[in-house]
Amino acid sequence: MQNVTLESGIVIRPLETHAERTAAVLLQDETWGRDFSEKIPAIMMLVAEKTGGVAAGAFGRDGALLGLVFGITGVRDGDLIHWSDLLAVHPAARGQHLGEALKRYQRERCRDVGVQRMHWTYDPFVALNAHLNLNVLGARVVEFVPDMYGTETRSRLHGSLGTDRFVVAWPVQAAPVPLPADQARLVGAPVVGGSLADCPSDMLLPQAPVVTVRVPHDYSTVLAGDLERARAWRVSARRAFQHYLSSGYEVSAFVPGDGADASYVLSRSRTT
């Protein structure tokens, strides 16, 4: 499976020419900013496609590059896995579920070469991405990494508060199971993450069977408008994620919030 045509007429296929790979670099500039330190150069996109990886674009009817997905394939814990490093959609093409389509295309490419699972990272504070990854695609959180990409990537999206990330796993050969998103999951669960006004930094972290970590509905707006409030959210959530995910809890649901704060539901899954 190399080419997929969506109902809109957009075609998802491998990047084939140097001009297309150059356009993919420019799309990264458009998405993360020209000073972004972690962009993928054109030569690595060429190499990835020749070595079992994926460097593919979504092209409009006029041939314009509207989206990009990139990842490399390798071995982890004895399994053939694929690390999806980058997903970008041009601002003019957002709202068409193109990110989801690119991710599913990438998964099918990986299935063809025998990959067992895909991994990627995302910022736990970006609720829209959390909903896509957990509720729609059915990926599962397997790790929380503070400042995974350092504290200064020079990207306008990342800001100045570091790069805390969730690492997720997505089965390729088996069917993924999306996480639940219903509000009922929040009933009775203590809130252990949120703004420091609600959850001060010295707040005790209860060993309840289920706890809730809140994140803003629109973190980018908080980051742009009130840096100290954004920092407070980060400090509180980092503390909760580090504590609970290392103590036998797992992310069992994500509730988007429908315009209000979103919530991760963490449930005790094992004894450590």
pLDDT in tens, 175-234: 999 999 999 999 999 988 766 555 555 567 888 999 999 998 888 888 778 888 888 888
What is the distance between the alpha carbons of residues 262 and 159, in angstroms, rounded to a whole number?
Answer: 20
- pTM to 2 decimals? 0.89
Is the pLDDT assigned to residue 149 strictly greater than 50?
yes
pLDDT score at 263: 94
pLDDT band at 151 (very low <50, low <70, confident <90, very high): low
pLDDT score at 156: 52
pLDDT digits (tens, 9 = 90+) for 90-139: 999 988 999 999 999 999 999 999 999 999 999 998 999 999 999 999 99
Average per-residue pLDDT for the chain: 89
Query: Domains of the chain by range and CATH?
Result: 1-113 (3.40.630.30), 188-268 (no CATH)
pLDDT digits (tens, 9 = 90+) for 51-67: 999 999 999 999 999 99
For the chain, the three-class secondary structure string (H helix, E strand, C coil) is CCCEECCCCCEEEECCCHHHHHHHHHHHHHHHCCCCCCCCCHHHHHHHHHCCCEEEEEECCCCCEEEEEEEEEEEECCEEEEEEEEEEECHHHCCCCHHHHHHHHHHHHHHHCCCCEEEEEECCCCHHHHHHHHHHCCCEEEEEECCCCCCCCCCCCCCCCCCCEEEEEEECCCCCCCCCCCHHHHCCCCEEECCCCCCCCCCCCCCCCEEEEEECCCHHHHHHHCHHHHHHHHHHHHHHHHHHHCCCEEEEEEECCCCCCEEEEEEECCCC
